[in-house]
């Protein structure tokens, strides 16, 4: 009660809870990981409040887990060692849009949907790289986990679009990263020692980001998608290579699933193209539609419903979540070299058949075709323990397959993090520990992750 009162003194009564019905919601996410204990949920409004919460947590040695939308599906915002979930959603201001230098500065609770609507209303010629995730997820949460959006295949993973940040360090200092540490302009994080790396990919174990600057990109006038199908996964490395040799695709998916029935047994390749004039657009369409060998067929008469699914931003591509009654959904983000796709594809289908799980197998090339995100998506009934257990086993085997093929696991859940750390160079593990110990001497930030 003493900690509860101290938290109330910082953020007021309405924004702290230790009531079981609210802790229940924060103790789990839509994925297959088991629920874990939460002691308090706190929703700060200002950076000073975040700072005071961190100082209290240090004094009383309480773990703090920062949370944006809480939608990684890998339980990354469900504390491993209890303590406070710091829900950032009240810090929801869009602070600045710089039209000429093309960036937006937002607070940590600003959602993807809010930024997208704001840009559509006030800057319709600009856009940001939007993940396929539900619109309630935060811009900051996505950038900090190296998320992928609709501009990622062409422009790089979303974390490369960070221009700067404001961070509350685990010891309570407020620190700026990038050009904003020197000037009032949040226009770049380059040309300085890149301290952003101390906070990207760390799952909130090194500090709490309170503001971020994200790069914006021109929004082309015309947009369409070309759809191809193949029955041969061996053709996929060549497809990825050829498409990126043209530098013409905005976005790119490969997708296969058993349902609806007409998708059974086929692999669909969807290439998003854009243009600012009819001529440019037609040229891209012509060139891309005729570039593959006979294994890959161009589907000239693609059903509009199928196209719509990919043309929306974010695309409504996550239909796998609806296959199994009960709304459970988790996927492995296997980051792989391009040439490993056929083996990953074939062996992952064996895992899917072995555990009889509802699935969608998706690939999105990243960083201009230098790697791919190989994402087997498993959906399940959250009220059916036996179904969840089969999905956990399938996730575990998929994780091991990705690592065996030389890949790494993106936004890995706890068992996936452990698998990676077992294989990690020992000096690298020591370096991770040293960085954390230096930044967070009392070990309060999301402890249990990357350990
Ligand atoms: C249907 C579906 C589709 C998806 N598609 C995509 C996709 O296309 N691309 C993609 O990238 N992802 C996708 N995801 C995964 C995920 O939803 C997104 O990456 C999302 O953007 C994560 O943001 P979040 O706000 O939910 O992050 P959270 O889950 O809240 O946080 C992610 C991590 O960052 C930490 N964190 C959060 N906020 C802060 C902060 N302020 N300071 C420090 N650390 C912080 C958390 O502790 C956690 O470790 C999808 C998920 C679903 C359910």
Edge-to-edge strands, sheet with 208-215: 94-98, 103-107, 208-215, 162-168, 174-178
How many C-beta atoms surround the C-beta of residue 393 within 10 A? 15
The counts of H helices and E strands in the chain are 13, 20
Q: Who's near 254: CB < 8 A, 6+ residues apart?
A: 236, 239, 267, 268, 269, 270, 362, 363, 364
Alpha-carbon span 110 to 94, nearest angstrom: 7
pTM of the predicted model as reported, rounded to 2 decimal places: 0.97
Residue 223 pLDDT greater than 60, yes or no: yes
Q: Output phi, psi for 26, to 5 deg.
A: -85, -5
Of 72, 109, 169, 330, the residue with max ligand 1 atoms within 8 A of its CB, to mutate for a pocket test, comes to: 72
Give the H/E segment covering residue 228: strand 222-230
Residue-level length of the chain: 451
Alpha-carbon span 77 to 68, nearest angstrom: 8
Is the CB of 68 within 6 Å of ligand 1?
yes
End-to-end CA distance of the chain: 30
Interval between CA 37 and ligand 1 midpoint (Å): 20
Question: What pLDDT, on a 0 to 100 scale, did the predictor assign at position 105?
Answer: 99
Alpha-carbon span 272 to 257, nearest angstrom: 20
Interval between CA 73 and ligand 1 midpoint (Å): 8
Per-position b or e across 242-274, b if 16+ CB within 10 A of its CB: ebbeeebbbbbbbbbbeeeeebeeebbbbbbbb
Is the CB of 70 within 6 Å of ligand 1?
yes
Residue 325 pLDDT greater than 90, yes or no: no
Is the CB of 111 within 6 Å of ligand 1?
no
Question: What pLDDT, on a 0 to 100 scale, did the predictor assign at position 288?
Answer: 94
Q: For residue range 360-370, list pLDDT tens digits in order.
A: 999 999 999 99
Question: What pLDDT, on a 0 to 100 scale, did the predictor assign at position 271?
Answer: 96
Give the H/E segment covering residue 256: strand 249-257
Mean pLDDT estimate for the chain:
95
Is the CB of 108 within 6 Å of ligand 1?
yes
Residue 320 pLDDT greater than 60, yes or no: no
Atom of ligand 1 nearest to the CA of 88: 41
Give the pLDDT band of residue 319 (cuts 50, 70, 90).
low
Q: Are 251 and 317 in contact (CB under 8 A)?
A: no
Is the CB of 178 within 6 Å of ligand 1?
no
Percent of the chain with pLDDT over 70: 98
Of 36, 137, 331, the residue with max ligand 1 atoms within 8 A of its CB, to mutate for a pocket test, comes to: 137
Which residue's CA is the closest to the ligand 1 atom numbered 51?
133
Give the pLDDT band of residue 91 (cuts 50, 70, 90).
very high
Which residue's CA is the closest to the ligand 1 atom numbered 2?
133
Atom of ligand 1 nearest to the CA of 167: 42
Q: For residue range 195-209, list pLDDT tens digits in order.
A: 999 999 999 999 999
Interval between CA 150 and ligand 1 midpoint (Å): 15
Question: What pLDDT, on a 0 to 100 scale, did the predictor assign at position 312?
Answer: 85
Which residue's CA is the closest to the ligand 1 atom numbered 49?
203
Residue 346 pLDDT greater than 90, yes or no: yes
Question: What pLDDT, on a 0 to 100 scale, did the predictor assign at position 74?
Answer: 96
Interval between CA 219 and ligand 1 midpoint (Å): 24
Give the pLDDT band of residue 313 (cuts 50, 70, 90).
confident
If we measure between CA atoms, which residue out of 41, 12, 43 comes closest to residue 25? 41
Q: For residue range 103-157, list pLDDT tens digits in order.
A: 999 999 999 999 999 999 999 999 999 999 999 999 999 999 999 999 999 999 9
Of 6-15, 47-56, 256-265, the one with minimum mean pLDDT is 256-265
Q: How is residue 184 annotated by DSSP?
A: S
Is the CB of 73 within 6 Å of ligand 1?
yes
Is the CB of 351 within 6 Å of ligand 1?
no
The strand ranges marked E within 27-117 are 40-42, 64-67, 84-87, 94-98, 103-107
Interval between CA 9 and ligand 1 midpoint (Å): 30
Residue 318 pLDDT greater than 60, yes or no: no
DSSP-assigned beta bridge partners for residue 336: 372
Is the CB of 67 within 6 Å of ligand 1?
yes
How many C-beta atoms surround the C-beta of residue 220 within 10 A? 16
Which residue's CA is the closest to the ligand 1 atom numbered 44?
204
Give the pLDDT band of residue 317 (cuts 50, 70, 90).
low
Give the H/E segment covering residue 233: none
Is the CB of 359 within 6 Å of ligand 1?
no
Residue 232 pLDDT greater than 80, yes or no: yes
Is the CB of 137 within 6 Å of ligand 1?
yes
Q: At what angle do helices 341-355 and 385-404 cross, to 10 degrees?
A: 160
Residue 270 pLDDT greater than 80, yes or no: yes
Interval between CA 5 and ligand 1 midpoint (Å): 30
Interval between CA 144 and ligand 1 midpoint (Å): 8
Is the CB of 71 within 6 Å of ligand 1?
yes
Question: What pLDDT, on a 0 to 100 scale, did the predictor assign at position 262?
Answer: 82
How many C-beta atoms surround the C-beta of residue 89 within 10 A? 18
Average confidence (pLDDT) over 32-52: 98
Which residue's CA is the closest to the ligand 1 atom numbered 31?
141
Residue 182 pLDDT greater than 70, yes or no: yes
If we measure between CA atoms, which residue out of 277, 260, 270 comes closest to residue 365? 270
Is the CB of 65 within 6 Å of ligand 1?
yes
Average confidence (pLDDT) over 403-420: 98
Question: What pLDDT, on a 0 to 100 scale, did the predictor assign at position 309?
Answer: 81
């Amino acid at each position: 009660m003493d900690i509860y009162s101290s938290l109330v003194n910082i953020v007021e009564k309405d924004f702290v809870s230790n009531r079981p019905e609210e802790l229940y919601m924060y103790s789990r996410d839509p994925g297959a990981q088991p629920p874990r204990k939460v002691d308090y949920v706190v929703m700060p409004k200002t950076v000073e409040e975040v700072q005071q919460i961190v100082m209290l947590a240090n004094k009383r040695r309480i773990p703090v887990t920062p949370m944006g939308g809480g939608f990684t599906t890998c339980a990354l915002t469900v504390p491993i060692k209890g303590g406070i979930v710091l829900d950032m959603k009240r810090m929801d201001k869009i602070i600045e849009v710089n039209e000429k230098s093309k960036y937006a500065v937002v607070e940590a609770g600003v959602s993807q949907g809010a930024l997208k609507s704001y840009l559509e209303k006030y800057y319709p010629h600009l856009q940001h790289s939007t993940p396929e995730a539900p619109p309630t997820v935060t811009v900051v949460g996505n950038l900090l986990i190296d998320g992928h959006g609709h501009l990622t295949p062409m422009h790089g993973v979303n974390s490369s679009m960070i221009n700067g940040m404001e961070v509350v360090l685990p010891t309570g200092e407020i620190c700026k990263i990038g050009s904003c540490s020197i000037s009032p302009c949040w226009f770049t994080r380059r040309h300085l020692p890149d301290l952003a790396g101390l906070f990207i990919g760390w799952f909130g174990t090194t500090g709490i980001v309170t503001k971020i600057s994200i790069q914006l990109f021109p929004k082309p006038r015309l947009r369409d998608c070309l759809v191809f199908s193949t029955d041969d996964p061996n053709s996929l490395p060549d497809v990825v290579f050829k498409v990126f040799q043209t530098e013409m695709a905005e976005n790119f998916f490969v997708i296969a699933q058993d349902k609806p029935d007409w998708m059974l047994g086929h692999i669909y390749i969807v290439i998003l193209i854009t243009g600012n004039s009819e001529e440019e657009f037609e040229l891209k369409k012509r060139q891309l539609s005729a570039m593959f060998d006979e294994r890959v067929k161009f589907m000239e008469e693609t059903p509009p419903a199928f196209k719509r699914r990919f043309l929306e931003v974010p695309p409504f591509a996550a239909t796998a979540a609806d296959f199994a009654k009960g709304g459970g959904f988790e996927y492995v983000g296997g980051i792989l070299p391009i040439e490993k796709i056929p083996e990953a594809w074939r062996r992952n289908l064996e895992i899917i058949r072995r555990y009889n799980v509802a699935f969608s197998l998706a690939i999105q090339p990243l960083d201009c075709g230098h790697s791919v995100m190989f994402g087997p998506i498993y959906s399940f009934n959250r009220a059916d323990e036996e179904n969840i257990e089969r999905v956990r086993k399938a996730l575990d085997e998929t994780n091991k397959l990705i690592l065996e093929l030389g890949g790494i696991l993106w936004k890995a859940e706890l068992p996936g993090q452990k698998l990676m750390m077992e294989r990690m160079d020992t000096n690298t593990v020591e370096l991770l520990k040293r960085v954390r110990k230096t930044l967070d001497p009392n070990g309060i930030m999301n402890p249990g992750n990357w350990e």
